[in-house]
Structure 1
């Protein structure tokens, strides 16, 4: 909880200009927060999540960083859309946003996992979008008893929200290691997961998103050991642990050490896609058919924004790695998988959990 308050405080400071505007105090005129129906001819950011949520907070902070390059003479209008997983906002980006170069969207990685899993609410194609910026972390697999537990043939009780949530990355990761799992679905939020782990209801947890070290502490107190990280990707087949979890091997390296063969190619590609989405705390994208010149402008603004002191401080406090332009595109690229891989993933989910996709 202390980590969450620190993250919110720093993100709030980074986006203070927008908040001051809403309260009537002096602020940068280049950011207008929550202005439905605004007729100002400027730039727009659709924040795919609820007001006050993670994407809203990052959106306000990022908009302040972008304003110096992107909107020195015109405002950036922020609008929150939909729920926490970003699916509603992503649908709106796909169907309603005109690619005029003035509108970007920010969403969580959960929206991409919903697409991969075949969530029936999804009506978007992430492969159509053009990544501009991303906030990344390397999810960590925590197991009670560490590597010794993997030798036990009994299925590992894995904390999970649902088959189409970020925890799908853990389900597939254990499958990649040849370890049977018995997911305990319905566990949402760090506090509920930590309580279930402390009570012995679950034996394994995937930590992802902001401030993984803070979330790891209560699990470690209950015997949890980080056995692997899903790593960060610098390019094709170039995986690394992040600076926070440098002592834990990547799951790819662990699988090689254990001599676990890759999954069948379509399912292996699907696993890599889900792992990529699980690394994404947020991603900012432009709609399909945005002109190259406009894409270059947004990417230049994003590259300069992630170097600003306020965003660097917010990222450090959240244990998030900020990337922009080509590096952001590299992080998102694995999500754009073939139809065969999507079918393989959805068949896996149906076979193991009875999950019916769209």
Structure 2
């Protein structure tokens, strides 16, 4: 940028510039490290065979021992230990809370980028950050992604709601089953708002079964559940009983392998197009896409910013090798695992530009007073 005083010498790099250069260094492998590459991952990623430099690998888990991410930490432990050529098994430390925010705060504040410690966290922690949750003191955009696991998420509604949506009066209230108003079901609230109706969150439905029961008893009009939680036969029974699946939440651009049952449903943009001739408001729609991807993220394994490129490369080799042995198990849970460039793409898609982030936070702020009043 031109200076107002042309004769002034150029100032040295600012701290912000140095941090940016450091972040780039964490994901760009130097030539010397590339020469040691022995395998290639998705989209031509160079993967460096571990040399045993990571002597004490550890995973911080964004959830308790009974959480899904803890299950996947245990599942990844043996293949990761072998692929890293570590002299001892990976040390796994669980944390309190189910949404991963506590562990993410700890990871961001206390873990040094020495290449020994990674974090495995559910997408709910990323969603909490995007929603402006006051508990969040971490910046997930600074982390270096190793693995991203995503699963399809569907929205189911009463048939009369679907049939009459085109004729609904604007701002008509629609009851939506949620765990909390800014929890994993936030994308459905925003999506319905974009459709022109007024979503009213009905909180306390923290499991797919409780949400399905609430729909069956007419306590809510719309629910959001993981696709894997509703087998094909039950999905068909729900449709026959008057509760069809309406649309799927958007997933990352890396997710080109959605299962056939979920991909037969329209994504939200396609569903929106059935009722509106113009695309939705761009900033909020872009924010919706990001929080939808976050809500569809079952897990993310990340390293701290400023981890040296050679250690990032070794972890990426190990995570790629580990995930290759776990694809069938992931598929049984309806999840796709992405590593390398595909993992980086899936992770970046959950981090929209500032305008979209602000649009989501403003949307929440405008409705929180009403939600608190019930």
Quote the Cα distance in structure 2 between the aligned partners of 1:83 and 1:61. Answer: 20
Match for residue 74 of structure 1 among 75, 88, 100: 88
Correspondence for 1:32: none
Correspondence for 1:348: 363
Quote the Cα distance in structure 2 between the aligned partners of 1:317 and 1:163. Answer: 30
Contact 2:166 2:275 in 1 (8 A): no
Correspondence for 2:260: 243
The Cα of 1:156 is off from its aligned counterpart by 2.2
TM-score by length of 1: 0.80
Structure 2 residue 139 is matched with structure 1 residue 125: yes
Structure 1 60/47 Cα, relative in aligned 2: closer, same or farther at 3 Å?
A: same
Structure 1 211/189 Cα, relative in aligned 2: closer, same or farther at 3 Å?
A: closer
Quote the Cα distance in structure 1 between the aligned partners of 2:107 and 2:227. Answer: 23
The Cα of 1:287 is off from its aligned counterpart by 0.8
Quote the Cα distance in structure 2 between the aligned partners of 1:189 and 1:102. Answer: 35
Correspondence for 2:218: 200
The Cα of 1:340 is off from its aligned counterpart by 3.2
Contact 1:91 1:124 in 2 (8 A): yes
Structure 2 residue 210 is matched with structure 1 residue 168: no
The Cα of 1:46 is off from its aligned counterpart by 0.5
Structure 1 263/184 Cα, relative in aligned 2: closer, same or farther at 3 Å?
A: same
Correspondence for 1:151: 166
TM-score by length of 2: 0.77
Match for residue 332 of structure 2 among 317, 333, 338: 317
Structure 2 residue 209 is matched with structure 1 residue 191: yes
> For structure 1, which segment, 298-307 or 98-107, has the greater mean C-alpha deviation from structure 2 after superposition?
298-307
> For structure 1, which segment, 180-189 or 88-97, has the greater mean C-alpha deviation from structure 2 after superposition?
180-189
For 1:31-54, what per-residue CA distance to the aligned partner results, in whole angstroms no more than 9, with x for missing partners? Answer: xxxxxxxxx951000011011211
Describe the SS at the equivalent of 2:244: strand
Quote the Cα distance in structure 2 between the aligned partners of 1:298 and 1:251. Answer: 35
Structure 2 residue 272 is matched with structure 1 residue 255: yes
Moved over 4 A (4+): 214-222, 238-241
Correspondence for 1:331: 346
Contact 1:126 1:335 in 2 (8 A): no
**Structure 1 residues not aligned, in runs of 5+:** 1-39
Quote the Cα distance in structure 2 between the aligned partners of 1:353 and 1:219. Answer: 32
Quote the Cα distance in structure 2 between the aligned partners of 1:156 and 1:277. Answer: 24
Correspondence for 1:223: 242
Quote the Cα distance in structure 1 between the aligned partners of 2:165 and 2:109. Answer: 45
**Structure 2 residues not aligned, in runs of 5+:** 1-53
For 1:153-202, what per-residue CA distance to the aligned partner results, in whole angstroms no more than 9, with x for missing partners? Answer: 24321111222211001111222333432221222112221221111001
Correspondence for 1:136: 150
Describe the SS at the equivalent of 2:58: strand
Contact 1:87 1:122 in 2 (8 A): yes
Max radius of gyration: which structure? 2
Describe the SS at the equivalent of 2:190: helix
Contact 1:137 1:242 in 2 (8 A): no
Quote the Cα distance in structure 1 between the aligned partners of 2:236 and 2:308. Answer: 46
Structure 1 290/209 Cα, relative in aligned 2: closer, same or farther at 3 Å?
A: farther
The size of the alignment, in residue pairs, is 313
The Cα of 1:274 is off from its aligned counterpart by 0.5
Contact 1:178 1:260 in 2 (8 A): no
Describe the SS at the equivalent of 1:91: helix
CA RMSD of aligned residues (A): 2.4
